[in-house]
Structure 1
Amino acid sequence: MAIEILIVLFFVAMLAGMIDTLAGGGGLLTLPALMIAGLPPITAIATNKLQSVIGTGTSTLMMFKNKKVAFKDVKLLMLLSFFGSLMGAMLVLIINTDALEFLIPCILFLILIYFLFAPNLASLENKTTSQKQNRIYTYIAVPLIGMYDGVFGPGTGSFFSAATVGLAGKNLRSATAAAKTFNFSTNLAALLIFIIAGKTAWLVGIVMMGGQALGAWLGSHLLFKIDVKYLRALVVLMCALMLAKYIYGMIIN
């Protein structure tokens, strides 16, 4: 891969790491970027896990270090999301590659629509939740989102945040901080499966890991200082541009 492409991917990963820490959705930038760079679908998904695990890992460390999240409060949810992602990653390995070529842009489009039209989560903050809702959140929503991350990934942090606000009744800032720890678990689980299966492009992943670490570090310092609606708009714009380029590449080929 040309050095110029690696440099671009480094800065894409840096931006994604910062956005992922602040609002979720960084994978909407990195996965299309990897596929535009020419990686096959499964390799792109696997390499995306490699580079994103350092970003979510850095964010998780900062959340624990700065006492934004207590490990005792999230350890069960991290474990359940981990096992959900393990199952998802094993599932994606048996999906036909041609099917992935078609499914990935379709899923990206649906996630883009979600980011455009999802309700304002702040309006759901601090609503009273029942024990049933909390059980659904813990034993169904979190593992299923983890499985989605193992299969695909982009938007996982935002889905964790939405579930934590809507079903567990947490405020958006707390939900966003907790979502980083869940997302680290799911990225790590999927990465382990993809490494065992030999699907990871190591050079590309390591270059992007540097960008992710820097972006996540910057994002963790800005988490409580910036309006996330501007970041969501940036995610939507950049994802739309990358998705359009990816689809154009499919058409001309």
Structure 2
Amino acid sequence: MFQIFFQDFSWEKFLILAVICFFGAIVDAISGGGGLVTLPAYFSIGLNPYVALGTNKLSAALSTIASAYKFWKAKKVNTEIVGKLFLYSFAGAVLGVKTAVSIDVKYFKPLSFFILVIVFLYALKNREIGEVSEYEGPTPKNMLYGKIMALALGFNDGFLGPGTAAFLMFCLIKIYKFDFSNASGNTKVLNLSSNMASLIVYTYLGKINWAYGIGVALVMTVGAIVGSKLAILKGNKFIKPMFLFVTAILILKMSKEIFFNN
């Protein structure tokens, strides 16, 4: 069984993954978007695309536990809100993964790209957005919007992945009037929900390389702790520029895939 677990395992490939994904976990803990770094790394070592997606979810899910815990300890997680949205994000991700393994993601990327551009431009134009928390508590209206958001972005995370954290942070700020620091903490918990749901489905489908996934997850957990400490310590003035930077990189990457990879 031990030999089966390490079948086709390469220490050289693992070290490449470990270094790249460590920095990906730091970025993800601060502003989201770590999948921009980690998923291409898994593709680059020659894994089957669906196995790469599943293994990346394993590493991301375990490292997100660490960053979510750090934000929770720092009182940057609103349990009243995310406790009610957690299952919606979970259900959306299950539907997203089941859809991803049955159709081509190219049909969904243009829509995600378009929305991401709007989010970036809006956040760039409205310089004060997310600077100060104006959260006043849950209402029937913002909870309805929140549940729709959690379901839709859970689906996006299970189906496509990259861009979900940016969407989540932006929506949490707009719907609940959190600042970037609190939005980041709540994003980690909802991301954890969709990551765990995706992981369960990919495990059921047998699309995970456990040797790489668990090893890289341990490395990413350290990266997630480092990143979340930086975000909590430096606050909104640090998180917002990182959010804009990572979102801009994501837009450039997706535009290349949509418009130039024919």
Fold agreement, TM-score > 0.5? yes
1:80 equivalent in structure 2:
88
For the pair 1:59 / 2:63, whether they are aligned, the reply is: no
Q: TM-score, normalised by structure 1?
A: 0.81
The one-letter amino acid of 2:245's match is A
How far apart, in 1, do the equivalents of 2:73 and 2:214 lie?
Answer: 25
Size of the aligned set, in residue pairs, is: 245
Deviations 1:210-232 (A, max 9, x none): 22101111012111334132575
How far apart, in 1, do the equivalents of 2:127 and 2:58 lie?
Answer: 32
- What is the Cα deviation at residue 233 of structure 1? 3.0
The one of 180, 186, 193 equivalent to 1:172 is 180
1:123 equivalent in structure 2:
128
For the pair 1:184 / 2:184, whether they are aligned, the reply is: no
Q: Which runs of 5+ in 1 are unaligned?
A: none
How far apart, in 2, do the equivalents of 1:154 and 1:83 lie?
Answer: 18
For the pair 1:199 / 2:199, whether they are aligned, the reply is: no
Q: TM-score, normalised by structure 2?
A: 0.79
2:31/2:246 contact within 8 Å kept: no
For the pair 1:37 / 2:34, whether they are aligned, the reply is: no
> Pairwise CA RMSD of aligned residues?
3.2
The one-letter amino acid of 2:210's match is W
The one-letter amino acid of 2:189's match is T
1:112/1:240 contact within 8 Å kept: no
Which deviates the most, 129-138 or 86-95?
129-138
How far apart, in 1, do the equivalents of 2:154 and 2:113 lie?
Answer: 20
1:29/1:238 contact within 8 Å kept: no
2:25/2:227 contact within 8 Å kept: yes
Deviations 1:11-62 (A, max 9, x none): 2211111111111100111112211222222112111100100111111122
How far apart, in 2, do the equivalents of 1:4 and 1:243 lie?
Answer: 32
- What is the Cα deviation at residue 192 of structure 1? 0.4
Q: Which runs of 5+ in 2 are unaligned?
A: 1-8
- What is the Cα deviation at residue 159 of structure 1? 1.3
The one-letter amino acid of 1:59's match is S
The one-letter amino acid of 1:143's match is L
How far apart, in 2, do the equivalents of 1:115 and 1:34 lie?
Answer: 28
2:123/2:129 contact within 8 Å kept: no
How far apart, in 1, do the equivalents of 2:247 and 2:212 lie?
Answer: 22
